[in-house]
Structure 1
Amino acid sequence: MWLIAGGTGQLGIALGKVLEAQSIPYISLGSVELDIRNVDQTNQILQLYMPTVVVNAAAWTDVDGAEKNEDNAYAVNAIGAANLAAASRTIGAKFVHISTDYVFSGEGNQPWKEDGIHSPISAYGRTKSAGETLVLGVYPENSYIVRTAWLYSPWGKNFAKTMQKLALTNDNKVQVVSDQIGQPTSALSLAKQIVTLVKSGAPFGIYHGTNSGEASWFEFAQEIFSAIGADASRVTPIKSEEYKQIAKRPSYSVLSHNRWAQTTISPMPKWKDALASTLSDLELDSNGSL
């Protein structure tokens, strides 16, 4: 049985759907049922259910909020991750920890390798970097760390849903940052890759779970508009400095997929293909809400 921490988030929901489709039993818990900051509760929950696989999809993901609340973000992204890894070790479960491209600085123009040196430029990035270090310190022999980026899905709030809503509900211009390059990643595509990874028995360690290719947020938005038949010329580029955000973002955070070549698993699909599949699942309700 699999246990998903952070089960109410985009990836948690996607994992549940993939596991259900493959008839794999699982329990999915939100932060109310499983607060990974609480050592005792974490141990009790894992010893109650005795899963064979534990996925940590729980995280503080408010990048700007982490700048003013780094201690709180650290409690979830670092201490919580270590708590869950330790509890997984106690029961002998495989552990999958979800991390991020933000552990890297984003300086340069070459994809970041799995064994690249951490160089975070934000509080969020620092807490996720610390989480990776703690997990590998606690349970290196049975842990997968899967870094992802620019996650979107039919569930929750995300960039793709926001852009689709703007495309379909008004005719205004939409300004989108054009100087941050990354990899738009479908939560469902990532969930499938995680399940395949665990089932394959591939070596433990760090993998990059992002859809193939690269794009700017501007290009991502244009593709969304085009894919649903909206006028992509409504999307106009702006620089990061014009779009005021509290936390610094990496300018180039494309992740290398070299590690997959050491397994029997193919890298994830191209981001445009994954996006087309996801957009077909997004529908506006009668109130114009996604």
Structure 2
Amino acid sequence: MTKVLITGATGMLGQYALAAAKAEGYDIITFGRPQNDLNNIETIAPFIAQIKPSIVLHLAAQTDVDLCERDPALAARINVLATREVAKATTMVGGWLGYVSTSNVFGAKEQTVYNELDLPDPVNYYGRSKFWGEQMVIQYAPHNHLIVRAGWMIGGGASKDHKFVGKIIAQIRNGASQILAVDDKQGSITAAENLARFLLASAKRGRIGLFHFASKGTVTRFQIACEIAKSLGYSGVVRGVRSNIFPLSAPRATSEGIESIFLSDAAEDIYIGSWNEDLQKYISQF
């Protein structure tokens, strides 16, 4: 039976990947608390060497953008050095490595949309740490890796979604008369469930290289909030605001919009819809 190692299996994307791997009948091993911790870098390679997985989905990361800005050493340890060890060990056992990166590797050029040929130019330490994580994968797993850059991730459902979509739905259900959402920053959304399916399908076929994976079209958080409000019949006011009313440690790019010029039309049809289609599909799960 094919062994699949999933790091970050308790996270949003990890839960979907775990379900997809179970549906495929894989022998699943997880790496994460309480047994292991990416902070303990020296434990990573021995663990992978012991279990010898055929597929490694490296989904664990420090994704708190503002924490990474306040503690770049933490970002480097988790997102760069731990990724290096995962890549080295996966290559050593002859496995295939799927690594999830982020649209946050872009932003300084202030383009509206970035594709796979655009050079990364992150504006914060989170984006920089994920970019250097990509470099670790390229260097230490040169012939057996897939790097996938995702946009603003949506998923988790009613009980586990503590990100933007979940917070807006919670405000509506709690009877808020007004919802504030930023309208001067834009990006792309990525449905975590679709990405998990894409990763498992890519592992099965041995797909390698670098791909962007996000719903079609760029969108602001204000537009997302309006779409949610319309879908749920919200009678209050959704108001667009400037991002500077929410003080944050880390700078944000004006746009983190991404698109793929490498994924085939067939792959897009299976996994990727427009941003409002993918958002509506997710909202219906609540």
**Do Structure 1 and Structure 2 share a fold, with TM-score over 0.5?**
yes
Specify the code of the residue in structure 2 equivalent to 1:189.
N
Do structure 1's residue 221 and structure 2's residue 225 form an aligned pair? yes
Unaligned runs of at least 5 residues, structure 1: 283-290
Identity between Structure 1 and Structure 2 (%): 25
Q: Which consecutive unaligned segments of at least 5 residues does structure 2 have?
A: none
Structure-2-length-normalised TM-score: 0.91
Are 1:36 and 1:42, in contact at CA under 8 Å, matched by a contact in 2? yes
Between the aligned partners of 2:220 and 2:17, the Cα distance in structure 1 is 27
- Do 2:213 and 2:259's aligned partners in 1 also have CA atoms closer than 8 Å? no
Which structure shows the bigger proportion of residues in strand conformation? Answer: 2
Superposition pairs for residues 100-249 of structure 1, below 5 Å?
Answer: 100-105=102-107, 107-153=109-155, 154=157, 155-202=160-207, 204-231=208-235, 234-249=237-252
- 1:271 is displaced (CA, Å) by 2.2
The aligned amino acid for 1:15 is: A
Shift of 1:134: 1.6
Q: What CA distance in whole angstroms lies between the structure 2 residues aligned with 1:190 and 1:69?
A: 29
Whether the aligned pair in 2 keeps the contact of 1:193 and 1:209 (CA below 8 Å) is no
Partner Cα distance (1:31, 1:129) in 2: 25
1:184·1:220 contact (CA, 8 Å) conserved in 2?
Answer: no
3-state SS of paired residue (1:237): strand
CA distance in 2, matches of 1:80, 1:175: 37
The correspondence for 2:272, drawn from 268, 272, 275, is 268
SS in 2 for 1:96: strand
What secondary structure, in the 3-state scheme, does the structure 2 residue paired with 1:116 have?
coil
SS in 2 for 1:132: helix
Q: Greater CA deviation, 165-174 or 51-60? A: 165-174
Partners of 2:194 and 2:186 in 1: CA distance: 20
Q: TM-score, normalised by structure 1?
A: 0.90
1:280 aligns with 2:284: yes
Shift of the alpha carbon at 1:47?
2.5
Distance 1:31 1:117 in 2: 35
Q: 2:90 aligns with which of 69, 88, 91?
A: 88
Give yes or no for contact 2:8–2:14 (8 Å, CA) kept in 1.
Answer: yes
Paired position in structure 1 for 2:44: 42
Letter in 2 for 1:92: G
Cross-structure match for 2:72 = 70
1:17 corresponds to which of 10, 16, 19: 19
